[in-house]
Chain A
Amino acid sequence: MRRGQNLAGWLFTAPAILGLGVFLLAPIILALWVSFRDWSALAPLGTSTPVGVKNYHDLLVRSGIVQTDFARSLRNNLYYVLGVVPAQTALALLLAVIVNAKLLRGKTFFRTAFYFPSVTSSIAVAFIFIFLFSPNGVINAVLSALLPGTVDTVWLNEADGVLHIIAGWLGIESGPSGGNIMGLSAWDWLSGPSIALTAVMILAVWTTTGTFMLMFLAGLQNIPEELDEAALIDGANARQRFFRVTLPMLRPTLVLVITLGLIGTWQVFDQIYAMTSGGPQKTTLTPSYLIYREGFENSAMGRAAAIAFILFVVILIFTALQRLVLRERD
C-alpha cells in the first residue's frame, strides 16, 4: 500500500521533474562545465578544451582588459541596482497606497494606467525612450522651454558619471591616483552611473513599478481594517499609523518586491541591447550584456558562462544581505 503510494507520487511528479531537469538543471550543470573550458561555440562542444579555472582567473584575478571590462560592468550594474531598486520600491508603494485609498475616484482607471507600462514590450518602450532622449526629442524640448537657452544634450551619449559631475561642481576634477581594484581606480569606481545609464534606469523604474504596485496593493488589502481602526482609537495620527502599523504588516510583500527587484536589476539586458549596446564608453556595459558580447560576438563562450556564474553568486550575496537587513527583529 505504502509502496504503491510512493510510486504514484513519483509518477505524478515525474513530468514536472523531467521538465525541470531537462530545461533547468541540465543546462545549469552544462553551463557550469562550459565555464571551465575554452569553447568558441563555433564548433561542437566536443572541440572545447579544458582550461581549469582560467576563465574565472581572467575575470577576477589576472589584470588585463577582460578583468577591467568585467569590473566596469559590475560597477555600472551596482549603481543601476542602487538606483533602481529603492526608487521602484518606494514609488510602487506610494502608488499602491494612492490607489488603495478609500476616497479615490476612478480607482480602476488609475490602477490600469499605473500598470500599463509593465505589460508593454520592453523593446518597444526602449525605442520610445530613445526618441524621448534624442537631441531633438521631448526631454530637450521641455527643458529648452523651462530653462534659458536651448538644451541640445545628447543624453544617451553622455558618458560622464553623475557623481563625477557633482564632484566637478565642487571643484574636484580627479581623485587620488591608486586604490586600484580589479583594474579600475577608486576614482573610476566612484563615478556613479553615467547620464546614459541614468536614462536606462529611469526607463527601468517606469516599466517595473506597475508590477510591484500590484504586489503592494495585494499586501495592503490583506491588512485587516480593524488594526487601522484600533490604532486610530488609540490616538495614532496618519503618519504613525502608516509607519507603525501598515508598513510592518507589509514586510513579507516588501521582502518579495526587493528580492525580485534585486534579481531583475542584476540581470538587465534587453534595454541595454536596444538602447546603448554597452556604450557610450562602456558605461552601460552590464554583466548580462557582457555575457552576450563575449559569447556571441567575441566567441568566448567559456568566459561568458563563467560571468553567468559569478553573476549568480553576486545575486545570491545581495539577496542574503537584503534578508539580513529586513529580518524580523525580536
Chain B
Amino acid sequence: MGTHKWLFAASAILLIGAPACGGGDQNQGPQTLQMYAFSSSPAEDAALNAAIAAYNKLGRHTVNLSLLPEYDTALQTALAGGQPPDVFYVNDNKLPDLARAGALEPIGDRMDNSADFHESLVKSFTFDGVNYCPPKDFSTLQLVYNPDEFAAAGVQPPTTWQELATAAEKLTRPGRPGLAMNPEFYRWGVFLAQAGAWPTNDDFTAMTMDTPEMRQALQYVADLHRKGHAATPAAVGTGWGGEALGKGKAAMTIEGNWIVGAMKTDFPNVKYAVAELPSGPKGKGTMAFSVCYGVAKASSKRDAAIDFVKFMTQPEQQLAFTKDFPVMPSRRSLSDEWLSGKTELKPFVDGAAYARKSVFVPGFRTVIDTLNDGIQGLAAGNRTVDQVISTTQPAGKDVLGK
C-alpha cells in the first residue's frame, strides 16, 4: 500500500496543481482571507478564534480559520497545489525550506515597530539576509525542577556545570535519575551553546562538530547519563520530561514553556519551579522555539494578509493571546507586563537574551537526525563522543556542500 499511497498523493498534487499565478494586489476593498493554523490546546484555539473575531469586526477584511491536524502535510499539499492559504503558521525549523522554495512573501520588515521583536527570534525567521515573517510568540528551554525534592536533598538550583552534576547526583536514587531529558539535539543543544560549541558556524558555510568545545559538551552530558544521574524520559517509562517530573520519575528536567500548561492539566498537585540553566564554560546558553505568521507569495491578497498579520502582532493582541498560555509575546516591550502575575516564569523570558538560533539551512534535517541518532547512542551508552562527531561532521559537510 505504501508506494501507492505516495504516488496517489503526488498525482493529487499535480491534478490540483494548475498554478494560480500570484498576480499583483490589484484587489481593492474587503477581502476574504484563508488562514491555516495548528492547534496546541482548546484554550489556544479559543484565543485564536477570539482574536480573529476581533479582527473581522473591524470590517477591513474577513479571515476564515482552518485548524488542521497533520498540519505540515496539509500545508505542504496546499503549497504544492499552488493554492496556499493567504496566511499560515510557520514553524521556525521549516522556514529555510519554505524560503528557498519561494513560498513566502517577505513581510518581516513591514510590521509596525519591528525592532521591538526579540532579536534571536527575528534571526530564526531570517534566511539569506531576508526577514520573512514576524514571530507570533516563543518558548525557551530552562531547567524545571521539583522544589520539594531540592529541599529534601539540600540542593540549590545549579548555576554551573559542576553544580548541576552534583545536584543530579544528590537527587538520584536507585532506579530513579535526578535529571530526565529527551535524547535529541533540541535539548542537548543547550549544553553545546553553554560550551561555545554548535554543529555549524554562524553563516552555515562549515561544520564545526570536530572541536574541543563540542567534545567537552557531549562528554559532559554523556557522563551524566553513564553515571545514571541523568536518563531519557523513556528509560523511566514516560514520554517526555514533563511527564517524568510530574510522575516523580525525575527531580529535574529541561523543557520549555509548554511544560506549564501540561503540569496544570496533567499534574495539578505537583509543585515545580523554573530556574535558568547553569552556565557552561562559555557562559549561559539555551534554545528558543518560535512560530511566525507567514504570508503566501502565491496569494493574490497579500496586502490584506499583511494588514491582518500587523493586527495580530500588535502589542494588545499579543498580550491577549499569551495571557493565559505559557508561551511568551515575541515583543521585548511586553515582557514585564506578561510576567506580572507569573514572575515564577521569568527564567523563560530571560532566556530570550542568550538563546541560540537553532534553525539551519534547507535539507539540514538529515544532519539533525544523524546527530540525534548519535545523541541517543550517547544516552544509551553504546556510542562514544568520537563516533558521534565522526558521523555527524561528514553528514553535515554533505548537506552544506563543503
* Residues in A lying within 8 Å of B, measured CB to CB: 22-24, 26-28, 30-31, 34, 40-47, 64-66, 68-69, 134-137, 152, 154, 156-160, 264, 267-269, 278-282, 288, 291-293, 295-301, 304-305, 308, 311-312
Contacts and interface: CB of A to CB of B under 8 A. Distances in A.
Contact of A65 (B6, B11, B399): B399
Contacts of A282: 369, 373
B377 A41 contact: no
B366 A298 contact: yes
Nearest to B104: A42
Interface stretch (B93-101, B146-154, B212-220): B93-101
Contacts of B10: 27, 30-31, 34, 301, 305
A296 B17 contact: no
Instruction: Report, as a range, how many residues of chain B touch the other chain.
Output: 35 or more
Interface in B1-44: 1-4, 6-8, 10-11, 13-14, 17, 19
Contacts of A301: 10, 80
A206 to B, nearest CB: 19
B363 interface: yes
20 contacts: A24-B4, A26-B14, A40-B97, A40-B101, A41-B79, A42-B79, A42-B97, A42-B103, A43-B82, A43-B298, A64-B395, A68-B395, A157-B376, A159-B376, A264-B1, A267-B3, A293-B365, A296-B72, A304-B6, A311-B3
Contact of B367 (A31, A65, A278): A65
B234 interface: yes
Contacts of A43: 79-80, 82, 101-103, 298
Contacts of A280: 376, 380
Contact of B3 (A44, A68, A158, A308): A308
Contacts of A31: 6-7, 10-11
A30 B14 contact: yes
A65 B401 CA distance: 12
A28 B7 contact: yes
Nearest to A297: B365
Nearest to B103: A42
B113 interface: no
A158 B234 CA distance: 11
Main SS of chain B's interface residues?
helix
4 A-B pairs closest in CB distance: A27-B11, A267-B2, A42-B101, A65-B395
A31 B363 CA distance: 21
Interface of B: 1-4, 6-8, 10-11, 13-14, 17, 19, 72-73, 76, 79-82, 97-98, 100-103, 175, 232, 234-237, 298, 362-363, 365-367, 369-370, 372-373, 376-377, 380, 382-383, 394-395, 398-399
B102 A47 contact: yes
Contacts of A69: 366, 369-370
Contacts of A135: 234-237
A299 B98 CA distance: 9
A136 B247 CA distance: 13
A297 B362 CA distance: 11
B366 A65 contact: yes
A157 B184 CA distance: 13
Contacts of B298: 43
A316 B3 CA distance: 13
Contact of B234 (A28, A64, A154): A154
B363 A300 contact: yes
A65 B7 contact: no
B394 A64 contact: yes
Most chain A beta-carbon contacts within 10 A, residue among B10, B14, B363, B369: B10
Contact of A295 (B6, B370, B398): B6
Contact of B6 (A24, A46, A136, A308): A308
A45 B366 contact: no
Contacts of B100: 40
Nearest to A294: B366
Nearest to B392: A65
A299 B363 contact: yes
Given A42-B103, A279-B376, A282-B373, 14 more contacts: A23-B11, A31-B6, A44-B17, A45-B17, A66-B366, A66-B398, A69-B370, A135-B235, A137-B237, A154-B237, A157-B380, A159-B382, A299-B101, A300-B363
Nearest to A137: B237
A227 B39 CA distance: 65
A27 B81 contact: no
Given A291-B6, A297-B365, A152 B175 contact: yes
Nearest to A295: B6
Most chain A beta-carbon contacts within 10 A, residue among B8, B76, B399: B76
Contacts of A154: 232, 234-235, 237
Nearest to B383: A281
Contacts of A65: 366-367, 370, 394-395, 398-399
B373 A281 contact: yes
Nearest to B82: A44
Contacts of B383: 281
Contacts of A152: 175
Contacts of B369: 69, 278, 282, 293
Contact of B72 (A22, A68, A278, A297): A297
A264 B2 CA distance: 9
Contacts of A134: 237
Contact of B380 (A64, A68, A159, A268): A159
Contacts of A23: 8, 11
Contacts of A40: 97, 100-101, 362
A267 B367 CA distance: 25
Nearest to A39: B80
Contacts of A44: 17, 19, 80-82
B73 A296 contact: yes
Contacts of A311: 2-3
B13 A296 contact: no
Contacts of B73: 296
B91 to A, nearest CB: 11
A304 B363 CA distance: 13
A292 B399 CA distance: 19
Nearest to B83: A44
A293 B14 CA distance: 20
Contact of B11 (A26, A64, A292, A297): A26
Nearest to B77: A41
A68 B390 CA distance: 14
A279 to B, nearest CB: 6
B5 to A, nearest CB: 8
Contacts of A308: 3, 6-7
